[in-house]
A and B are shown apart, each in its own frame.
Chain A
């Protein structure tokens, strides 16, 4: 089955700096790569996703890049703000779907 590795496990940045979280996946058939944000005491929430026919996608301060050849994808957050502090999960799934495999999460802390 699919295996998703996520790094780093913790990340501390100063407000205004950029943050980058990286994930690798094992199944070359995977074609959907979402990112979820989990705030304290809440369930994860989708923030951005990318499909394999696209190399990059941007939504305001958040961008995701995908390298299918190397089987890795990354989340980029620019101009970080305190409200970006949360746990971020990457995930991957294939065409048959129904089994979204998550990474182990990255705890991002944005300091003032």
Chain B
């Protein structure tokens, strides 16, 4: 199993551009989520999904969209990038929709810079 795969690993955008961060998992996990990691702020939840067709907002959802059309994929879309979205983004998945019953498996991260 490849686990959780994120692409791209690095991306530079100009303010106002759009892009999609891809996330795929091959573990048949129900739960998938996106976090952003900023210095001194830890990992903050952006959006999450407890199954195909179901998504919900996390702590910092503004400026981001998600969809979950399949169990395997959970893309994160930035519609109009802003410098405040410069960050390292992590996709994570777990077997069930209840994080207190299962380990979160993280991808290796996508470093995004918005100029």
Contact = CB atoms under 8 A, between A and B. Distances in A.
B104 A98 contact: no
Q: Tell me what chain A mostly uses at the interface: helix, strand, loop, or mixed.
A: loop
Contact of B100 (A46, A93, A103): A93
Interface stretch (A37-45, A57-65, A69-77): A37-45
A89 interface: yes
B98 A97 contact: yes
Contact of B109 (A43, A46, A102): A43
Interface of A: 1, 4, 6, 9, 31-32, 34, 36, 41-46, 49, 51, 89, 93-105
Q: Which size bracket describes the interface of B in this complex? A: 20 to 34
Contact of A100 (B45, B50, B107): B45
A45 B59 contact: no
A31 B43 contact: no
B56 A43 contact: no
A85 B42 CA distance: 17
Contacts of A93: 99-100
Nearest to A94: B100
Most buried by A among B40, B101, B104, B108: B104
Contacts of B75: none
Contacts of B31: 98
B111 to A, nearest CB: 10
A45 B41 CA distance: 18
